[in-house]
């Protein structure tokens, strides 16, 4: 069968189908017309459309009214400034903002060029242009989306200040309503000035003043007509029309702007020809100095932005461009010392064979109020608001969890630092000590300082999983349901925690059992002076008693004097704290994470070390004391000279045999071991005499009881019948 025969049969079949279905379609059409007319569907559709337009108009009107245009000018003039805990300026946040220049310092050439190309009816409309809206609507119909154009200078100002860059009908509608509100508040010269200061000109430059310096090395008041045309031409596409990167494109665009200025009556033909003849390349002169230098402490400032966005609901765009004053807990001395440690690669293990850098993060916190005084979120080159290991990380904390999930609740349950714990394998959970040995029994203070695993697991079993799990949560450690197992004693968590959270938890031991929610921001003031955030009275939870905090500190002092952090002990300072490690899942002798947390009565320093992505080629091999401990030691020795020095209330448990004794009763210095020994002997003598006294008392009491018994028996015999 040939193709023509097939095609003839297909046509005949289609014709037959049409003849069959046509009567049914006609009947359906007649029925639809009757229903449409009977129920006035046209009127209903029109009414619904009008109601929709009304609702949308009311929404946009309310939205426009809710925007605080009163603060627009002041917010554009001011940069967002970060202040430290002494209310001294620490730096500025960079954003969509350059050097603000008043109207009389902006060349009329620039104003004429921008108005001619961007909005030639600028001085005649009230914020929106009907013809421009028509062009945008036509683009929507022909291409299916808003293609750009149609926005007045006022609308563009509203977009830059308040809205996203998405080309949508909704955004265009918002622009119009906000532009109307702006026009009510400001005159045309103010609006144009704000726009020129808030527009982007490529190469990280905002505003005409910085653009004039970036491309021509002059102030905005000094640009020539041709230079003004070049700057104005960049508004259409700064990435492709700036003369540094695309000179030919910039020349073509400059010439177009000059022609438009002639059409708009701002230039003569002679002036146009004269300016077009100028060699644009010979005019280029970059004298712009980046404002990013104000972003002095990148990790800390990133964390400030994160906290303002996540805790207080401010937007990043507003923070960067609306001239806030942000007061923080920052101590610039601490921060500078911490950053210096991180800039010195000798403080860290060598890179992996493929060049991957071991990452690290640290937090220094004031335990008396929870204020974060210094913070470094990662090593290497800074990327704006990149992943911050200090605040965003979730890694298992290893043995640094033991004081939180085991030893603190055990002390609350009546155990003491000298209580004897089992140091042997248990049937209910497989674990081992770091060196693979065990002693059978060990006092608690030694188990803490030496970070022994078996006693911690045994003790968690003794006090109960529920008690340990609940106490860790009270310390502010985020736990999953799957964390309720004996591995909790060793810090094996499903998700994990961050240096910031661990610093807050250990703050309880330094500050009488109080845990504060850690914070960076104390107050935020907007460009008008209104306080939008006030965190000057942070709240705390009393998670353990002062007595338990002192008992834990007495044991944690031993970590640095005789335990796993002895190598990390900062010279000349007394520090308490804990180390921790986590094993890789491919080799128990290799390490994922190393932690060390140390504190004095006035500061907590929490430090983590590890690779961003652990693999068989990315791992740590040393101990916490020898690797992350050296980072901590360098930090502590640099920061502690700036910290108010206060002595601990209690002595090192190693110096007292596990007894909790006031620090001023024991001399813990290395050169006074004889005095310490004498103190211990005196303690034993006192205990011995007390024991002898108690024994003597019971002997006398027993003798008296025997005499009473004998006397009673005599009386009983006397009164028996027959006597």
Contact 157, 194 (CB under 8 A): yes
118 is catalytic: yes
Contact 475, 543 (CB under 8 A): yes
Q: Buried b / exposed e across 537-567, counting CB within 10 Å, b at 16+? A: eeebeebbeeebbbbbbbbbbbbbbbbbbeb
Give me the phi and psi of 421, to 5 degrees please. -110, 155
DSSP state of 529: S
Residue where the block lists tokens 């080629």: 617
| DSSP letters for 117-137 | HH-TTTTTSSS--HHHHHHHH
Burial class (CB in 10 A: 0-12, 13-18, 19+), 8: exposed
Neighbours of 218 (CB within 10 A): 17
Contact 164, 171 (CB under 8 A): yes
Residues forming a β-bridge with 89: 83
Contact 362, 371 (CB under 8 A): no
Contact 502, 390 (CB under 8 A): no
The Cα 610–Cα 620 span in angstroms is: 7
Give me the phi and psi of 481, to 5 degrees please. -60, -35
User: Token digits for 531?
Assistant: 């306080």
The Cα 243–Cα 278 span in angstroms is: 14
User: Token digits for 70?
Assistant: 């009163």
Q: Helices 153-162 and 108-118, interaxial angle, to 10°?
A: 90
Q: Buried b / exposed e across 292-315, counting CB within 10 Å, b at 16+? A: eebbbbbbbbbbbbbbbeeeeebe
Neighbours of 328 (CB within 10 A): 27
* Residue of 75, 107, 118, 175 with catalytic role: 118
Q: Which helix (H) or strand (E) holds 151?
A: none
Contact 361, 348 (CB under 8 A): no
The Cα 201–Cα 44 span in angstroms is: 50
* Residue of 79, 116, 362, 399 with catalytic role: 399
The Cα 556–Cα 408 span in angstroms is: 12
Q: What 3-state DSSP class applies to 416? A: coil
**Distances, alpha carbon 112 to alpha carbons 250, 262, 638, 716, in Å:** 18, 10, 57, 128
The Cα 113–Cα 237 span in angstroms is: 15
Residue where the block lists tokens 């700057």: 231
| Residues with catalytic function | 118, 399
């Amino acid at each position: 069968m040939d193709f023509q025969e097939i095609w003839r049969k297909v046509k005949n079949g289609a014709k037959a189908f049409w003849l069959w279905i046509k009567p049914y379609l006609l009947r359906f059409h007649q029925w639809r017309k009757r229903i449409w007319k009977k129920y006035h569907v046209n009127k209903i559709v029109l009414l619904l459309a009008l109601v929709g337009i009304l609702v949308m108009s009311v929404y946009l009107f309310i939205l426009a009214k809710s925007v605080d245009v009163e603060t627009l000018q002041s917010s554009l003039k001011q940069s967002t400034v970060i202040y430290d805990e002494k209310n001294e300026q620490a730096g500025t946040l960079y954003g969509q903002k350059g050097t603000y220049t008043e109207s009389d310092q902006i060349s009329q050439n620039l104003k004429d060029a921008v108005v001619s190309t961007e909005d030639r009816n600028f001085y005649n409309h009230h914020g929106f242009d009907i013809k421009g809206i028509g062009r945008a609507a036509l683009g929507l119909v022909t291409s299916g989306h808003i293609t750009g154009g149609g926005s007045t200078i006022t609308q563009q100002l509203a977009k830059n200040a308040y809205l996203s860059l998405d080309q949508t009908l909704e955004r265009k509608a918002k622009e119009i309503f906000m532009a109307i509100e702006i026009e009510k508040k400001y005159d045309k010269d103010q609006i144009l000035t704000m726009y020129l200061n808030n527009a982007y000109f490529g190469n990280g430059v905002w505003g005409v003043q910085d653009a004039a310096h970036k491309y021509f090395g002059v102030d905005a008041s000094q640009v020539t007509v041709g230079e003004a045309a070049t700057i104005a031409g960049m508004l259409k596409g700064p990435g492709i029309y700036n003369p540094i990167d695309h000179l030919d494109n910039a020349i073509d665009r400059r010439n177009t702007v000059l022609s438009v200025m002639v059409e708009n009556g701002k230039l003569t033909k002679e002036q146009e020809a004269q300016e077009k003849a100028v060699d644009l390349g010979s005019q280029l002169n970059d004298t712009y100095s980046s404002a990013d230098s104000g972003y002095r402490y990148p990790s800390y400032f990133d964390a400030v932005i994160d906290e303002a966005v996540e805790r207080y609901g401010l937007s990043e765009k507003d923070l960067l461009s609306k001239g806030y004053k942000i007061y923080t807990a920052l101590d610039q001395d601490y921060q500078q010392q911490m950053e210096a440690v991180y800039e010195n690669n000798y403080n860290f293990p060598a890179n992996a064979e493929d060049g991957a850098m071991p990452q690290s993060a640290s937090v220094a916190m004031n335990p008396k109020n929870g204020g974060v005084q210094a913070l470094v979120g990662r090593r290497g080159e800074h990327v704006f608001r990149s992943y911050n290991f200090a605040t965003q990380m979730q890694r298992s904390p290893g043995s640094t969890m033991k004081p939180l999930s085991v030893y603190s609740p055990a002390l609350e349950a009546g155990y003491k630092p000298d209580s004897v714990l089992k140091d042997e394998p248990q049937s209910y959970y497989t674990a081992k000590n770091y060196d693979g040995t065990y002693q059978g029994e060990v006092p608690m203070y030694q188990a803490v300082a030496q970070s022994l695993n078996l006693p911690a697991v045994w003790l968690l079993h003794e006090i109960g999983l529920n008690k340990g799990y609940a106490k860790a949560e009270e310390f502010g450690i985020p736990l999953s349901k799957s964390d309720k197992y004996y591995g909790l004693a060793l810090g094996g968590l499903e998700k994990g925690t961050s240096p910031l959270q661990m610093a807050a938890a250990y703050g309880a031991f330094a500050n009488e059992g109080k845990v504060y929610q850690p914070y960076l921001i104390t107050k935020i003031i907007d460009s008008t002076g209104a306080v939008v955030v006030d965190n000057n009275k942070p709240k705390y939870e009393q998670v353990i008693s002062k007595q338990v905090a002192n008992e834990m500190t007495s044991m944690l002092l031993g970590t640095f004097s005789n335990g796993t952090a002895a190598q990390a002990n900062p010279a000349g300072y007394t520090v308490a704290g804990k180390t921790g490690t986590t094993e890789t899942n491919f080799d128990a002798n290799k390490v994922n994470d190393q932690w060390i947390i140390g504190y004095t009565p006035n500061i907590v320093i929490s430090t983590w070390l590890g690779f961003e992505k652990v693999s068989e080629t990315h791992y740590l091999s040393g101990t916490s004391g020898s690797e992350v401990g050296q980072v901590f030691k360098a930090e502590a020795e640099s920061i502690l000279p700036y910290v108010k020095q206060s002595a601990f209330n209690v002595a090192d448990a190693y110096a007292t045999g596990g007894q909790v004794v006031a620090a001023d009763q024991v001399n813990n210095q290395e050169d006074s071991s004889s005095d310490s020994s004498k103190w211990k002997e005196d303690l034993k003598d006192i205990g011995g005499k007390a024991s002898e006294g108690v024994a003597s008392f019971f002997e006398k009491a027993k003798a008296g009881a025997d005499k009473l018994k004998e006397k009673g028996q005599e009386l009983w015999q006397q009164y028996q019948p027959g006597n």
